Amino acid sequence: MERKEILMEIDPVCGMEVDPKGAAGSYEYQGTTYYFCSTGCLEDFREDPESYLR
Amino acid sequence: MAQPARGKVRELQLDVSGMTCGSCVQRVEKTLLKQPGVLECRVNLATGEATVRLAEGAAPFEAMRDAVRARGYDLAVHRDRPDDPDRQEERAWLRRVWVAWPLSAVVMVLSTLAMDADWARVTAFALATPVQFWAGWPFLLGAARRARSLSANMDTLIALGTLTAYGYSVWALFAGEDLYFDTAALIISFLVLGKYLETRARGRASEAMKRLLELGAKEAHVVRSGREFLMLVDQVKVGDLVRVRPGEKIPTDGVVEEGASTIDESMLTGESVPVEKVAGDQVTGATLNLDGSLLVRTTRVGADTALAQIVKLVSEAQSNKAPIQRLADRIAGVFVPIVIGIAAVTALAWFVATGNVGDAIVPAIAVLIIACPCAMGLATPAAVMVGTGRGAQLGVLIRGGEVLERSRRIDIVLFDKTGTLTEGRMRLVDVVGDESALARAAAAEAASEHPIARAVVEGAVERGAPDLEASGFRAVSGLGVRASVESEDVVVGRRSFLEREGCAVPDWLAQDTSRLEAEGKTVFLVGWGDKARAALAVADTLKPNGRETVRALEGIGVEVALITGDNRSTAEAIGRQAGIDRVLAEVLPDQKVGEVRRLQEEGEVVAMVGDGINDGPALAQADLGIAIGTGADVAIEASDLTLMSGDLQGVVTAIRLSRRTYRTIVQNLFWAFGYNVALIPLAAAGLLNPILAGAAMAFSSVSVVSNSLRLRRFQR
């Protein structure tokens, strides 16, 4: 989703929009960096990345 | 992950904090379910409330809390929300009552029985002081504020009277003269009692806001990057795709992207017929999706949504309503300068007559003391209390005294249509054509939840149509149904549906259909064997005593009009049945309040009767907002008066009771002031003593109370 000023990322676990600069955390997987709204979502993703990337 | 239950099972309500997204909910649920003894766990994202079912010997609360904290959230035992400001005000006045009355009672006893004993006099002084300055503080403050703008109201009169009595008594304490501590203390006591009763009757105005905001959906299923996520509705952005399943509320305003369904929009438009929506149609947040699954592209969120607009309108209407200057205040405003004038003249006259300042001041002070009627603070609340109590017995819930004063003169009553004047439900009213059609249609519609289907089925039962079996039921969302009844393929639906399904519509039937539709009814055709055979018309019907109510209102000198968001022909049909000439149809919620305002600007005092959320702004704006008790909570909260049952006769009762109660308030004020004013000449002549002052207080209070009790005999 594009916005006028910032390019927002989507948290793959919960679907919320995350500003990369203010994200609770990020994680690189197979060459792509994902941003998360909370450490909870980051941990869930780390445990099983594939299940969130269908 | 449920475990079999053994032994006692208990349920625990918890508050979870720190959840921001749908995944948070799952995480908390999983964490709690992993705890030993937790059988079931449900967490609500929007409210943060969690309900867990625990088996015997389950993990203690602390363990659950620590586990939840480890994941970044927090857990607390569920606590109900704290009281709202109006309750606090009520309690503050009650505290003053509890302080003022016991102290005043003692002071009064001391004053009557032991006026010569020094200890009694000093005690009276000591006890009267907190009553005067702590319990009576709000009045003193009010008077001070008023003094700045050189105006007077009840507070001014109270401050004048009680401070004079108190101040004089302090001097008299040392000078060995009569004390008037009991006068001051009792006046204050009656007043705080009156204020307490008033705030108790008033109810909560801010509830309307809270209820309106609760109407919106709290959660939404948003589709992003091809996947569906559960999130809070305030996280939905314009342009997001939202999936709405049957039975769910539409979360935001938007346009249907995919899918078809019927929507219950009654909350917004008041229309009793569910509306069909297909791709390209607009939908509104907070309306209810009935039977199909929809994918909606969001167009407006938050403060821009239609619901938010209604909230804003109600809020504006409520805050724009200038509090009317209460009758008691207006009387006091005129009375105070007159009394001060009389006191000044008295002092002057005595000074001229005796040349002694002391002899001149005492009668003037006596005038000021006697001028403050102690029953004044009770005059309005007593009438309001008895009036509202009687109203409640008759099914009319009145919210506070201001309502009664504002509504004593009503020029016009606006009735909302659906659910107010009408039953709010569809009923079968006409069957035209083949007589067996009704039984067949009823059989075909038997399985449908649609309100119109229900109306057809009930209509068939009412008319004694035979019960037929149907099979092979097939519904095309919102357009019609098809079923096999007695081995005939029966089609029921709109004319376009029948034609599509191969049932030709003969001319006579088409004509009848148009005629019925012109009467404002919703018409369905029934067909089989390639031909449309009959037409069924359903309509919302007028409540049983609708016509009488209109006549009764016109009889007490009130004009009646109908205002609705529904279409013109339906509105006029109901108008004709009810005997209402003035019909305003196709009026949107913000236009409704505009109509009320327009009438008010023309100088009319407007009453509005409504039941739906869309009536909220108009009800709040009207001089007298009357809600139908069987309607939406929001309408009730935005109104001044609620009719407990849907019975329209209550409107007449309500207006008559309001007028009667207002008359009682005026009479009470007359009694309250009467005795005291009669004693002013005596005071000016220097003949006042505490016994006389006490007698005036007693008589006026008794008169006010007994006059108020007469209201109990008010008849419907």
Beta strand B241-244 with B522-528: parallel, antiparallel or unpaired?
A: unpaired
pLDDT tens-digit series, residues B20-44 = 777 888 888 888 888 888 888 888 8
CA neighbor of B673 nearest in space, from B335, B261, B227, B241: B335
Tokens, residue B481: 């149904």
Which residues, in sequence order, are CB contacts of B87 under 8 Å at separation 6+?
Answer: B204
CA distance B395 to B654: 9
pLDDT band at B70 (very low <50, low <70, confident <90, very high): confident
DSSP string, B382-426: HHHHHHHHHHHHTTEEE--HHHHHHTSS--EEEEEIIIIIEEEEE
> Is the Cβ–Cβ distance between B290 and B275 less than 8 Å?
no
The answer to whether the CB atoms of B20 and A44 lie below 8 A apart is no
Which residues, in sequence order, are CB contacts of B50 under 8 Å at separation 6+?
Answer: B13, B14, B15, B16, B28, B32, B41, B42, B43, B44, B75
pLDDT band at B205 (very low <50, low <70, confident <90, very high): very low
CA A46 to chain CA centroid, nearest Å: 11
pLDDT band at B6 (very low <50, low <70, confident <90, very high): low
pLDDT tens-digit series, residues B144-169 = 888 888 888 888 888 988 999 999 98
Is residue B337 within 8 angstroms of chain A, CB to CB? no
Which residues, in sequence order, are CB contacts of B344 under 8 Å at separation 6+?
Answer: B364
**CA diameter of chain A:** 34
**Mean of pLDDT over chain B:** 85
pLDDT of residue B1: 46
CA distance A40 to chain B (A): 7
What are the helix (H) ranges across B283-355?
A: 306-320, 327-354
Instruction: Kindly report which listed range (A13-17, B129-133, B319-323) carries the lowest average pLDDT score.
Output: B319-323
Task: Note if the pTM is more than 0.80.
Answer: no
A interface test, pick of B25, B29, B219, B224 with most A CB neighbours within 10 Å: B224
CA distance A20 to chain B (A): 17
pLDDT of residue B397: 83
The answer to whether the CB atoms of B20 and A38 lie below 8 A apart is yes
Kindly state the percentage of chain B with pLDDT values over 90.
Answer: 18
Nearest to B27 among A16, A37, A40 (CB): A40
Q: Say whether pLDDT at A2 is over 70.
A: no
CA distance B199 to B499: 63
pLDDT of residue B478: 59
What is the DSSP-derived secondary structure letter of residue B640? S
Q: Which residue of A has its CA nearest to B28?
A: A40
CA distance B588 to B151: 43
- Judging contacts by C-beta atoms under 8 Å, the chain A residues touching residue B220 are none
- Over residues B77-101, the mean pLDDT reads 80
Is residue B22 within 8 angstroms of chain A, CB to CB? yes
Beta strand B624-628 with B606-610: parallel, antiparallel or unpaired?
A: parallel
pLDDT of residue B5: 53
- Per-position b or e across B584-593, b if 16+ CB within 10 A of its CB: bbebebebbb
- Over residues B409-434, the mean pLDDT reads 86
Is B467 catalytic? The answer is no
Q: Which residue of A has its CA nearest to B73?
A: A40
pLDDT of residue A4: 56
pLDDT tens-digit series, residues B577-613 = 889 989 998 887 778 889 999 999 998 899 999 887 7
Q: Which residue of B has its CA nearest to A40?
A: B71
What is the DSSP-derived secondary structure letter of residue A2? B
Nearest to A38 among B72, B222, B225 (CB): B72
Opening angle at CA B681, ends B675 and B687, nearest 5:
95
CA neighbor of B350 nearest in space, from B687, B3, B707, B695: B687
Reported for B217-222, long-range contacts at CB under 8 A and 24+ positions apart, including other chains, are: B217/B248, B217/B249, B217/B250, B217/B251, B217/B252, B217/B285, B217/B286, B218/B45, B218/B46, B218/B47, B219/B22, B219/B45, B219/B46, B219/B251, B220/B251, B220/B252, B221/B245, B222/A15
Chain A residue set in contact with B, beta carbons under 8 Å: 1, 10-17, 37-41, 44, 54
Q: Which residue of A has its CA nearest to B18?
A: A38
pLDDT of residue B710: 93
Instruction: Kindly report which listed range (B204-218, B334-348, B396-410, B424-438) carries the lowest average pLDDT score.
Output: B204-218
Q: Which of these is catalytic: B329, B416, B615, B640?
A: B416
CA distance B393 to B395: 5
- Judging contacts by C-beta atoms under 8 Å, the chain A residues touching residue B71 are 40
The answer to whether the CB atoms of B229 and A38 lie below 8 A apart is no
CA distance A8 to chain B (A): 12
Is residue B387 within 8 angstroms of chain A, CB to CB? no
CA neighbor of B405 nearest in space, from B201, B138, B158: B201
Q: Which residue has the higher pLDDT, B316 or B93?
A: B93
Q: Which contiguous run of DSSP H or E holds residue B476?
A: strand B470-476
Instruction: Given the cut 0.95, state whether the ipTM is greater than it.
Output: no
pLDDT band at B210 (very low <50, low <70, confident <90, very high): low
Q: What are phi and psi of B120, to 5 degrees?
A: -70, -40
Task: Tally DSSP H helices, then E strands, for chain B.
Answer: 25, 26
B interface test, pick of A16, A34, A39 with most B CB neighbours within 10 Å: A16
pLDDT tens-digit series, residues B478-507 = 567 888 888 888 888 888 888 888 888 888
pLDDT of residue A54: 66
pLDDT tens-digit series, residues B345-396 = 998 888 888 887 778 888 888 888 888 888 888 888 888 888 888 888 888 8
- Judging contacts by C-beta atoms under 8 Å, the chain A residues touching residue B221 are none
Most confident residue range from B70-84, B112-126, B439-453, B656-670? B656-670
Nearest to A37 among B20, B225, B228 (CB): B20
CA distance A14 to chain B (A): 5
CA distance B647 to B629: 9
